[in-house]
Structure formats: C-alpha cells, structure tokens
Amino acid sequence: MSCGVALAVTLLLSDPNVALAAALPPPVADAPVSVANEPLFAEIVTRSGALKGVVQGWIAAGVVDQADFAAGTAFAGFRTQAVDLAALDMQGHMILKDRGTDGDLKCILRGISEDIPVKLAAVAAAATPAERRVALDELAYLLNDNVEVITAPPQPPV
C-alpha cells in the first residue's frame, strides 16, 4: 500500500467530516462565488448592520421626534459614516465590474451607493416627525438590503 493511500484511509477513518466532504459532488466549474467573506464586502456588511442598528435605536427611543434631530451631532456623525459606506459600496461595484462580473450584485451595490445620500437628504429635509420616521425607515431598509444582497447565496446568471 502506498503512503498516499494509507494517509487517505487514516484521514477517512479519523474524521467523519472528511468522509462526508469527500462524498459531496465537486462544485460546478462556472458556479458563482460568494464575495461575502472578502474583506471589503465583509466590512460593508458590518458597517451596514451597525448603521441600521443606530437608525432602529433612534426610532425606538423616539429621538426622531425632536425638531432639531437632523441638525444634531449624532446625525452629523451618522451621515459621515453612511457616506463612507456609500463609497465602499461603489468600490465593491467597481471591483466586481473589473472582474467582469455581470451579476445583479454589481448593479445593486451601485444603486445602494447612489441611494444612501438620497435617503440621508430625505431625513435631513423631513419637516415633521412622521416624515422623518418614514425617511429613517426607508434608510434602515436600504441598509438591511445592503447586508442581505451581499450575504445571500450567489445565483447563476439568468
């Protein structure tokens, strides 16, 4: 028995996960690959989730009912972080474009990058607490979408 075969048998007998992994069919050569674990995209997910949590906290605490909410330092700091996130989304779009990826994620990231400043402006322009709440709800939805589109399993092109 060769050393390679002996090693393979030893590994198969020592860890059942190795045997299970070996029993799986090989991945399809042209199957789409998830980018969720790549550093840039993982950073987008982390930042989007954190910013969504801030928005939900503001809504739950009722601070959006304050007339000067958009003029406060908390919103100004949030706005800076959200604009930085929009730049990361555009960077992700450009990376996927440079790779020749023709999937939905590339387009969605660009759209989110362009929509974040629009949603921030809507929050700042809201004249009433009700308008501000709607604008923040839409921003929270967009931030959640940012997380979900990156972490969703990739789909083959249609």
9 in a structural domain:
no
pLDDT at residue 101, rounded to an integer: 77
Domain residue limits at 130: 39-151
Candidate ranges 1-5, 80-84, 128-132; pick with highest mean pLDDT: 80-84
What angle do helix axes 73-98 and 104-125 make, rounded to 10 degrees?
Answer: 160
pLDDT at residue 17, rounded to an integer: 47
pLDDT at residue 24, rounded to an integer: 52
- 144: tokens are 């959640």
Say if CB 90 and CB 109 are below 8 A apart. yes
Number of domains the chain is built from: 1
- 145: tokens are 């979408």
144 in a structural domain:
yes
2 in a structural domain:
no
33 in a structural domain:
no
25 in a structural domain:
no
Q: Taking residues 23-42, report their average pLDDT.
A: 73
17 in a structural domain:
no
pLDDT at residue 33, rounded to an integer: 74
Residue 18: pLDDT band (50, 70, 90) is: very low
Supply angle C-alpha 27, 107, 149, rounded to 5.
Answer: 60
15/105: higher pLDDT? 105
Residue carrying the six token digits 């800076």: 80
Q: Which among 97, 135, 94 is positioned nearest to 117, based on CA atoms?
A: 135
Q: Which amino acid is at 64?
A: V
Q: Please write the tens of the pLDDT for every residue from 60-113.
A: 999 889 989 999 999 999 999 999 999 999 999 999 999 887 678 999 999 999
Say if CB 34 and CB 40 are below 8 A apart. no
pLDDT at residue 100, rounded to an integer: 85
Say if CB 41 and CB 147 are below 8 A apart. no
